């Protein structure tokens, strides 16, 4: 499985800043301790899927698996919908279609 956790972290951080939320405000919104959010944003801890989903939803984002072939289409739609947020335009993570299915 190939992924870049740094891209996911940066997308969360960019979305938080875009919404002008402090880590403390995001903590109050999610119930996740501010210190843990700080550790996540610094890459000091490996984020759990449930925490990623909670943070993403609090930032009006959704965690979704996109077939790799469709990433250019998703990127294009996102650029149109969010032209002022270049750092959160592209999906941070995708899975290739399972060849065994």
| pLDDT tens-place string over residues 47-60 | 999 999 999 999 99
Scanning the structure block, which residue is given the tokens 């979704």?
64
Counting Cα atoms < 13 Å in the Cβ hemisphere of 71 gives: 13
Are the CB atoms for 67 and 89 separated by under 8 Å?
Answer: no
Indicate if the pLDDT at residue 97 is higher than 50: no
Q: Is residue 99 domain-resident?
A: no
Task: Give the pLDDT of residue 35.
Answer: 98
Task: Give the pLDDT of residue 84.
Answer: 67
Instruction: Tell me what the mean pLDDT of segment 29-54 comes to.
Output: 96
Give residue 85's pLDDT band: very low, low, confident or very high (50, 70, 90).
Answer: low
CATH of the domain at 80: 1.10.260.40
- Domain total of the chain: 1
Give residue 82's pLDDT band: very low, low, confident or very high (50, 70, 90).
Answer: confident
CA dist 72 and 63 (Å) reads 17
Q: Is residue 27 domain-resident?
A: yes
Task: Give the pLDDT of residue 86.
Answer: 43
Q: Which domain, by its residues, includes 56?
A: 5-88
């Amino acid at each position: 499985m190939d992924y870049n956790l740094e891209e996911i972290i940066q997308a969360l951080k960019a979305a938080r800043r875009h919404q002008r939320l402090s880590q403390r405000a995001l903590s109050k919104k999610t119930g996740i301790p501010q210190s843990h959010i700080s550790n996540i944003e610094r890459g000091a801890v490996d984020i759990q899927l449930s925490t990623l989903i909670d943070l993403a939803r609090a930032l009006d984002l959704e965690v979704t698996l996109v077939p790799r072939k469709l990433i250019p289409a998703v990127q294009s739609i996102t650029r149109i919908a969010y032209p002022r947020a270049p750092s959160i335009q592209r999906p941070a993570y995708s899975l290739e279609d399972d060849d065994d299915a």
